[in-house]
Amino acid sequence: MADADQAQYNALHATLGHHPGFQFIMCFFHMIKNVMKATKQFPAGVASALVRDVYDLHFTRSDFEFQRLREDILMKWMSNPFL
């Protein structure tokens, strides 16, 4: 787990190699921090809905649930004129 810095990603692969079993994930704090920063340009209601959607994805309990919710959220985002 990291803060999505490319150097950390490169260090992981330089040290452990490119293994299909490895999954590089971003620290949730840093992800939310980046989402908050990126959504400042949107109206408050839209920004809070985006953050809520990211939280909902984070707290899914299975890959199946994540994928299903992801599809629902993407459809919702694609229909939002602010996005």
pLDDT digits (tens, 9 = 90+) for 9-55: 788 778 887 777 776 677 888 889 999 999 999 999 999 999 999 99
**pLDDT at res. 4:** 57
**pLDDT at res. 38:** 94
CB 77 within 8 A of CB 42: no
Q: Do the domain assignments include residue 25?
A: no
**pLDDT at res. 6:** 76
Note down the domain range covering 74: 39-83
pTM for the whole thing? Answer: 0.71
- How many distinct structural domains can be found in the chain? 1
Q: Do the domain assignments include residue 33?
A: no
Higher-scoring residue by pLDDT: 69, 23: 69
Q: Do the domain assignments include residue 74?
A: yes
Give the C-alpha separation, 72 to 74, whole Å. 6
Angle, CA of 62, 31 and 43, to the nearest 5°: 105
